[in-house]
Chains A and B, each alone.
Chain A
Amino acid sequence: MSYRAPVTDIRFVLNELAGLNEVGALPGYEDVNPELADAILEEAAKLAENVIAPLNKVGDQHGNKLSDGIVTTAPGFKSAYQQFSENGWVSLRTPTEFGGQGMPALIAMATEEMWCAANVAFSLCPLLTLGAFEALEHHASDELKATYLPKMASGEWTGTMNLTEPQAGSDLAQVRAKAVPVGDGTYKISGQKIFITWGEHDMVENIVHLVLARLPDAPAGVKGISLFVVPKYLVNADGSLGERNDVSCVSLEHKLGIHASPTCVMSYGDKGGAIGYLVGEAHRGLGYMFTMMNQARLGVGIEGMAIAERAYQQAVAYAKDRVQSRELGSDNPAPAAIIKHADIRRMLMTMKSQIEAQRALTYYAGAALDRAARHPDAAEKQKWQAVVNFLIPIVKGWNTEQVNEITSLGVQIHGGMGFIEETGAAQHLRDARITAIYEGTTGIQAMDLVGRKTASEQGRTARALLAEVEAVAAQLKTQGLAEIGDALDAALVHARASTDFVVGQFEAQPKAVAAGSVPFLKLMGIVLGGWQLGRAALVAKQKLADGDADSAFLEAKLITARFFAAHLLPQVSGLSAAILHGADTVLALPEEAF
């Protein structure tokens, strides 16, 4: 099934909802405007549709092969990656001083959506490179930056993040990998790291590993972890590649999905110690990792939304093609395309409306990230940073929880054929599953949301955003879109009650709040998604009144927003009931009874 980048909707969200023009007004983004964004989107769409998307199925079926420490990627990946990197896509958002294009996150995210939808396994390689790049850019010495960043921006070298160990997953305090000073400023790194995405592969000549490890004098726990750069091949003073470092891939995981992305067990120091270079100061590695966590979590949120879009496109194509049973209430006795059946429509609209709500909310968060980074006014900067901080667990958690439902609906629409691998609907379901797990599970996002992002600031940002929702609801009611406005108002009552509960009870009974934290995250996702679709409906209504020519798209936007208001927003009352009154039964059953 081919992929068509949803450029029209992306453009609408960038220009009308996320504020591309405002981002273009930020210092350093003078060249950024809708025309440039259009040119970038069109080219990205071509590459995603014609080069990267066709490898999605090949990658799923073929996976990667490990032999003698060498990982061979699926056929076509190496040349696609070369084209991708040579054409400059790795460095879209990296700063110009290291050879990047210096574009805002907002535009970069729009292209990242396309890579993820085209082939999420492929997209992880440049995503990880970008993460490693940013960690080095913010925290490494000028010398390390000069050695590694230009080659990473160009995509000639890829990057990895080595955090997890068998005993240290979500709890990184338990990291045991060791770093011993050699005396010449370098360190010998040893230990085993697991779940290392694109840890070893044949697409590039060098791989830059960022590794969390403990120095000999390190205090126990999170305050004793340092960050090191460990290149696969050591880099000579003139920039050429030197000796092979003492690091290797010893095994590949067999996974439910993202088969084309090699998930490696990496072994450091089997022959005495891999040479590593300290990034920033000793014992501060975990903090450095967290500075990039926001971007990484937004990135996974994009993955969720993007895979959902791909699954939706495939489901639509099948629903239009598959002919079964006569249409209810029709005079025509002949079997009809299943898209004529009401429940298929319900499923397609459930997919479509959530995807569009998520795209709008995700890009809104992306624009907030740019504003927080570049706004000249300190108060504005701070305000947008708070918005980003609040939205990140929601974008990550809600998009990725829902992609499980959305890709499942995609399979459902295919009927029995959906359960057959050859149809391709199942791959999206399998590929999507990890997104709610890595970069912090939904449970961890939800705890972040109720704790750091809501209770610890007395719900300030949450309430500010809900006030904006209320303003949009009021506007909707004056613009003849009362069914959306009323649904938002009804949802707001529950959202506010839940926020009050989280803020009020977090100190006194944290476990009760924790028990309802995932429902709270979902509730916020639905309310804020409904807010964005409400804004979209207002824009659509206005443009239709102005006689904007693309009436089919705008009418669809209105109907989509109304569907969301009728089908998704009412779920908020159920979630709120669980948040306010459900903790008891979560925790009541004695452990022995399980």
Chain B
Amino acid sequence: MKILVAVKRVVDYNVKVRCKTDGSDVDVANVKMSMNPFDEIAVEEAVRLKEAGKASEIVVASLGVKQCEETLRTALAMGADRAIHVETDTELQPLAVAKLLKALADKEQPQLVILGKQAIDDDANQTGQMLAALMNAPQGTFASKVELAGDKVNVTREIDGGLETVSLSLPAIVTTDLRLNEPRYVKLPNIMAAKKKPLDKTTPAELGVDAAPRLKTLKVAEPPVRKAGIKVASVAELVAKLKNEAKVI
């Protein structure tokens, strides 16, 4: 069984991001970039399925600028078999990503597509769902457990107030939540081996997809700074302030 995993190159979770001075975007110049943590969980899950003998091949795909190659190499070092880089400098929005992944899925015919539930840069949480619609395939989002059973995959989902298990016919789309697994630390020999694994290049044009953005960003601003608190002299003053100034009681 073949698994397709999508990984996104994002600002590292340790970095405190800042806006560009002109408010056009987040400033990512010279910022450490890493694999989206939810995607790392997706790769890990695929590798575990392969190690358990349930999957035969893991194809990992990343979409975007040249440096996405590094992200793909990390996925290869974690255990993916080969990589596809859809290279473009265009800003990619969820619908474009879903269309590109659909085109890759058409070529690769995976039985399972695993993605992070969302990327920590834009937090859109849309790509997996859109891909499922485009592929007309069932989806199990926010997975905290994935079990393959014949031509089905049982996905335990984290939902408000508890867990829900759905049984999906393959091919299916799974998006990962935080508790699905804990990604491994890469073994040193695998870093060397990853350099020799195949990494194919393609472009949105070759895949016949118009990846142009549909949404326009108007402005990016930092959240307002929290104002300093004040001390009140008495309970009466506190109540008065809550009533008259904050107007919460």
Report which of B186, B187, B192 forms a contact with A36, defined as CB distance below 8 A: B192
Q: Does A457 contact B (CB under 8 A)?
A: no
The answer to whether B189 touches A39 (Cβ under 8 A) is no
Query: For B34, B70, B186, B195, which residue has the most chain A Cβ atoms within 10 angstroms?
Result: B186
A residues less than 8 Å from B30 (CB atoms): 549-550, 552-553
- 0/1 interface trace, chain A 36-57, chain B, CB 8 Å (1 if under): 1011101100110001000000
B230 an interface residue at 8 Å Cβ cutoff?
Answer: no
Interface residues of B in 176-223 (CB under 8 A from A): 185-189, 191-192, 194-195
Give the size range of B's interface with the partner. Answer: 10 to 19
Q: Is the CB of A39 within 8 A of B185?
A: no
Contact: B185 with A88, CB < 8 Å? no
Q: Is the CB of A47 within 8 A of B185?
A: yes
The complex places the Cα of A43 from the Cα of B73 at a distance, in Å, of: 12
Chain A nearest CB, measured from B198 CB (Å): 17
- Note all chain B residues with C-beta closer than 8 A to A553: 30
Q: What A residues does B195 contact at CB under 8 A?
A: 31, 36
Interface membership of chain B positions 59-92, coded 1 if the CB is closer than 8 angstroms to chain A and 0 otherwise: 0000000000010011001000000000000000
* Residues of chain B with a CB closer than 8 A to A35's CB: 70
Q: Which of A35, A51, A83, A88 has the most CB of B within 10 A?
A: A88
Taken residue by residue from 514 to 555, chain A's Cβ proximity to chain B (1 for < 8 Å, 0 otherwise) reads as: 000000000000000000000000000000000001101100
**CB <8 Å contact, A87 and B73:** no
State the main secondary structure of chain A at its contact with B: helix
Once the chains bind, are B70 and A38 in contact (CB under 8 Å)?
A: yes
Q: Answer whether residue B29 sits at the interface, using C-beta atoms and an 8 A cutoff.
A: yes
Interface string of B18-44 (1 = CB under 8 A from A): 000000000001101010000000000
A61 CB, nearest partner CB in chain B, Å: 25
Task: Name the residue of chain B whose CB is nearest to the CB of A90.
Answer: B188
Q: Which B residues touch A51, using CB under 8 A?
A: 185
Question: Is there an interface contact between A43 and B191, defined as CB atoms closer than 8 Å?
Answer: yes
Q: Roughly how many angstroms separate A47 CA and B188 CA in the complex, as a whole number?
A: 11
A264 to B32, CA, bound (A): 43
CA distance A91 to B192 in the complex (A): 13
Residues B188 and A87 in contact, CB atoms below 8 Å apart: yes
Q: Say whether A36 contacts B191, CB under 8 Å.
A: yes
Given contacts A39-B77, A43-B191, A549-B30, contact A87 B70 (CB under 8 A): no
Shortest Cβ distance from A206 into chain B, in angstroms? 22
Fill in one digit per residue for A78-90: 1 if any B CB lies within 8 Å of its CB, else 0. 0000010011110
What is the CB-to-nearest-CB distance from B72 to chain A, in angstroms, rounded to a whole number? 11
A502 within 8 A of B: no
Name the A residues within 8 Å of B194 (CB-CB): 39
Known contacts A38-B70, A549-B29, A550-B30, A43 near B192 by CB under 8 Å: no
In the complex, A92 Cα to B191 Cα: how many Å? 11
Q: Which residue of A lies closest to B194 (CB)?
A: A39
Q: Is the CB of A87 within 8 A of B187?
A: yes
Report Cα–Cα, A85/B77, bound state, in Å. 17
Report the separation of the CA atoms of residues A35 and B191 in the bound assembly, to the nearest whole angstrom.
11
In the complex, chain B residues whose CB is within 8 Å of the CB of A101: 188-189, 192
Q: Which residue of A lies closest to B34 (CB)?
A: A42
Interchain CA distance A42-B189 in the complex, whole Å: 14
Asked if residues B188 and A88 are in contact (CB atoms below 8 Å), the reply is yes
**Which residues of the other chain, B, contact A89 by a CB distance below 8 angstroms?**
188
Q: Which residues of A contact B73 (CB under 8 A)?
A: 39
- Given known A-B contacts A36-B192, A39-B70, A39-B77, A46 and B29 have beta carbons under 8 A apart: no
The B-contacting residues of A in range 323-337, CB under 8 angstroms, are: none
What CA separation (Å) do A201 and B35 show in the bound complex? 37
A550 proximity list for chain B (CB < 8 A) = 29-30
Q: Are the CB atoms of B185 and A87 closer together than 8 Å?
A: yes
Task: Assess the A40–B187 pair: CB atoms within 8 A.
Answer: no
| Nearest Cβ on chain A to B60's Cβ, whole angstroms | 15
A552 contact set on B, CB distance < 8 A: 30
Contact A43 B70 (CB under 8 A): no
Given A38-B70, A549-B29, check contact A43 B189 (CB 8 Å): no
* A38 CA to B186 CA, complexed, in Å: 14
Q: Which of B30, B185, B194 neighbours the largest number of chain A CB atoms within 10 Å of its CB?
A: B185
Bound-complex Cα distance A86 to B185 (A): 10
The reply to whether B185 and A40 form a contact with Cβ atoms under 8 Å apart is: no
A-chain residues with CB within 8 Å of residue B185 when the two chains form the complex: 43, 46-47, 51, 83, 87
Contact A40 B188 (CB under 8 A): yes
Bound CA–CA A409/B32 (angstroms): 30
With A31-B195, A36-B195, A38-B70 as known contacts, state yes or no: A43 contacts B29, CB within 8 Å: no
B32 shortest CB reach to chain A, Å: 8
A31 → chain B closest CB, angstroms: 7
Which residues of B are found within 8 Å of A87, using beta-carbon distances? Answer: 185-188
- A47 contact set on B, CB distance < 8 A: 185
Contact in complex: A92, B29 (CB < 8 Å): no
B contact residues around A92 at 8 Å (CB): 188
Contacts of B186 in A (CB 8 A): 43, 87
Residue on B with the closest CB to A33?
B195
Known contacts A31-B192, A87-B186, A101-B192; 10 further A-B pairs (Cβ under 8 A): A35-B70, A39-B194, A43-B77, A43-B191, A83-B185, A88-B187, A88-B189, A91-B188, A92-B188, A552-B30
**A-binding residues in B (CB < 8 A):** 14, 29-30, 32, 34, 70, 73-74, 77, 185-189, 191-192, 194-195
Sample of 14 A–B contacts (CB below 8 Å): A31-B195, A36-B192, A36-B195, A39-B70, A39-B194, A40-B188, A42-B74, A43-B188, A43-B191, A46-B185, A86-B187, A87-B185, A87-B188, A550-B29
Closest 7 CB pairs of A and B: A88-B188, A550-B30, A87-B187, A43-B186, A39-B191, A549-B29, A88-B189
